Amino acid sequence: MHLTETSPIPAAALPVASLRDHLRLSSGFADDTTQDALLEQYLRAAIASVEGRVSRALFRRGYVLRLGRWKGDHAQRFPLAPVVSVEGVSLISAQGVATSVAPDRYRLDADGMRPRLEAAGTALPMIPTGGAVEIAFTAGFGVVWDDIPADLRQAVLLLAAQYYEGREAGGGADMGFGVRALLERWRDIRLGGDA
């Protein structure tokens, strides 16, 4: 399995001003924004950490999932949620030739916790021997900061602040209790098998 982000989060969507306020950085001076590039860097790192921990895309953006085989004949779970749409499914031959799968052969089960690509008939399309399948999809809570649930927004700000404040010492390895507590309800419970 290989997941590739195809449309990164635009810099304008990042809550740099909110992080600056959270850190209580000076305001009212001509050089208020001198640290914005650094704050953006820490926000991106915090978002990536939170998304990895809870398997959720915070900002809505495009992805391509490449698989060598299906997890099941009838359905394939997406590695992150919430999935908003499936833009296309392509079968890739061993020689690298892509063939689009007709949209009437699959559908999206947009379950908020465990979204899946499901077969519209009896089974998902057969992946060529030595080949792969690529699924282009869009996932995320929304396109602006306020679309993201409040507890996840708070976790990002706390973690970005932790990265900023620990920058001289190389940063802390632990997320901290407050961040972990905010993320706990979003974590998947996996019990093995096809969980």
Domain parsing of the chain, residue ranges: 2-58+143-186, 61-139
pLDDT digits over 18-43, tens only?
998 888 876 655 455 668 889 999 99
Q: Which fold has domain 2-58+143-186?
A: Hypothetical protein yqbg (1.10.3230)
Rounded to an integer, the average pLDDT of 179-186 is 88
Q: Rounded to the nearest 10 degrees, how much is the dihedral formed by the CA atoms of 138, 139, 141, 146?
A: -60
Burial 102-112 (b: 16+ CB within 10 A, else e): eeeebebeeee
Q: What 3-state class would DSSP assign to 104?
A: helix
pTM of the predicted protein model: 0.86
Smallest CA-to-CA distance from 59 within 10, 101, 97 is with: 10
Region of residue 96 (left: phi > 0; alpha: psi -120 to 50; beta: else): left
Is 70 exceeded by the pLDDT of residue 190?
A: no
Q: What per-residue confidence (pLDDT) applies to 185?
A: 86
